[in-house]
Amino acid sequence: MLSEKSILITGGTGSFGKKFVELVLKRYPKIKRLVIYSRDELKQFEMSQQFPLSKYGQIRFFIGDVRDKERLRRALENIDVVVHAAALKQVPACEYNPFEAIKTNVLGAQNVIENCIDLNIQKVVALSTDKAAAPINLYGATKLCSDRLFITANYYKGNRDIKFSVVRYGNVMGSRGSVIPFFLKKCKEGVIPVTDKKMTRFNITLEEGVDMVFYALENMWGGEIYVPKIPSYQIMDIAEAIAPDCKIETVGIRPGEKLHEEMITETDAINTLEFEKYYVILPSMRLWDVDSYRKTFNGKNCPVGFSYGSGKNKEWLTVEQIRQLIKDHVDSTFTVIKSTGEKGARKLSFVQSAESKELEYSAEKEDK
């Protein structure tokens, strides 16, 4: 699929980008060129240590911003496949800096699209988020707009042989700024802040997210929004998995935050097909024969009234499953924080692993 191809990934030094590069080099060693496009010189330097040019001669690092159309165009020359992962993603930051989010997530997306059409790129997959479904915050609204830009690009590409599709998924386990690394840090301070004890979220590992992009690149007809079937978790189960005896402080939902996330709304479901491991939201204006698409991939229509949200999911992670996933995908030395000490006070100790020393940390609190 990607052998002998030249690929560019925007936002390539982020959590997804690093895993994508790792798996591309592992699974497609005959890749022609792999361009990592991002605006952070320090992260590019650090990533170049992980993937040195002496070992991975296909890699090229381009410093640039998706807001800069001309710089982006230069980076895209002679590229076959584009994965667009660059975005401003932090909900509070987007709420307080709205036009900055628009410049990166909307105008930057359009820069990617126009350059890809002009340069005859073959395939483009853009990453989306569950927050783009029925958005209530600016981040979600910008990503919904971005999704629409990429899907509708299929209508005005002319006779060029280029396809645009989108992959949408929920919280990536262990990614920068996500809840698990945050809780791991906070529990060492003795208190885990929880926005709302009823909150739920989708969960996907970085490798699963990359696999969905690989699948889209191999099978896309153009215009699809791919939504993988992934489990949900209760936010309190995350706290229980990490430190069952740690104090929980309810701090309230942040600006622009939902209690439960959606990936497919009831309205979207009208134009959605279900497959074994994923859903596809179809383009509202038909680009190809839907019956042929359904038969090719062995799918079926979603029932009337269907929606896909984290609070009503069929698959849920247990506390033990969460602990194992943390060890497998976040911190291989993770061990549950347990309480010790006399009644009336708790001393929390955090052991990294059987081979490592105990971290010098303790927190005492009165039982009420």
Say which residue the tokens 């998706």 belong to. Answer: 66
Q: Quick check: helix, strand or coil at residue 76? A: coil
Per-position DSSP letters for 17-51, written without gaps between them: HHHHHHHHHHH-TT-SEEEEEES-HHHHHHHHHHS
Beta carbons within 10 angstroms of residue 262's beta carbon: 23
d(CA 83, CA 9) in angstroms, rounded, equals 5
d(CA 209, CA 50) in angstroms, rounded, equals 21
d(CA 149, CA 255) in angstroms, rounded, equals 26
Say which residue the tokens 């591309």 belong to. Answer: 24
Per-position DSSP letters for 119-188, written without gaps between them: TT-SEEEEEEEGGGSS--SHHHHHHHHHHHHHHHTTTSSTT---EEEEEEE-PBTT-TT-HHHHHHHHHT
DSSP at 249: E
Instruction: Using alpha carbons only, give the angle 333, 339, 344 rounded to the nearest 5 degrees.
Output: 160
Assess whether 32 carries a catalytic annotation: no
d(CA 89, CA 65) in angstroms, rounded, equals 15
Q: Of these residues, 18, 19, 131, 258, which one is catalytic?
A: 131
- What residues have CB less than 8 Å from 268, skipping those under 6 apart? 133, 281, 307
Give catalytic residue positions. 131
